[in-house]
Amino acid sequence: MPDTFVQSTDDVVKFLKDQHNLIKDLFEEVFSASTAKAREKAFVELRQLLAVHETAEEMVVHPRARREVAEGDEIVDARLHEEHAAKEQLSKLESMDVGSDEFITELAKFREAVVDHAEREEHEEFDKLHRKLDADDLERMVKAVQAAEAIAPTRPHPGVESAGLNFAVGPFASMLDRARDLIGAALR
């Protein structure tokens, strides 16, 4: 996992909001890259961050929000739907030439969708979840999110929005138990 993904905070909502800002910065980098090579590099970093970020939300944060937040099921189902659509957009971008005008046009649409999704998460889900959790919980969930990000696939997999499946496809069996413990503790 690149160093830029590692942040130290004891509040899961702050952690995720910081990552949203990092995602926005990486979009800027992809757009402003002066060579195709630099654009490719920034895009790969963006894609990896998005993949691990969304996986951690799907494993740790959304299940907890379902339980804690009023109308949690409705809110989380809408977020999962957006995440699935984003993964499909990302798969399409992956098959394109980063030096082409079409790539930039698609990337602009993708950024809009990702930023809208992040804002809805922050306002409709995370802020409400924050009000329901105490400091210990918020800290436990940072650890669980970090553990999930460490074992998450770094490429998007549309259709594996369920936590169970993400566990099943994780490549590092030895890390899974520890991650599962941390995540299990955060979900209780």
Footprint on this chain of Fe ion (rule: CB under 5 A): 54, 57, 121
The answer to whether 126 and 13 have CB atoms below 8 angstroms apart is yes
Name the token pair of 54: 């969304």
Q: How far is the CB of 118 from Fe ion (least distance, A)?
A: 5
| Own/partner pairs, 41-49, CB within 8 angstroms, 24+ separation | 43/93, 43/98, 45/2, 45/4, 47/90, 47/94, 47/154, 47/155, 47/156, 48/2, 48/154, 48/155, 49/2, 49/4, 49/5, 49/19, 49/22, 49/23
Indicate the residue among 20 and 39 with the shorter CB distance to Fe ion: 20
Indicate the residue among 57 and 137 with the shorter CB distance to Fe ion: 57
Indicate the residue among 121 and 149 with the shorter CB distance to Fe ion: 121
Q: How far is the CB of 36 from Fe ion (least distance, A)?
A: 28
Q: How far is the CB of 150 from Fe ion (least distance, A)?
A: 17
Q: How far is the CB of 177 from Fe ion (least distance, A)?
A: 26
Indicate the residue among 55 and 150 with the shorter CB distance to Fe ion: 55
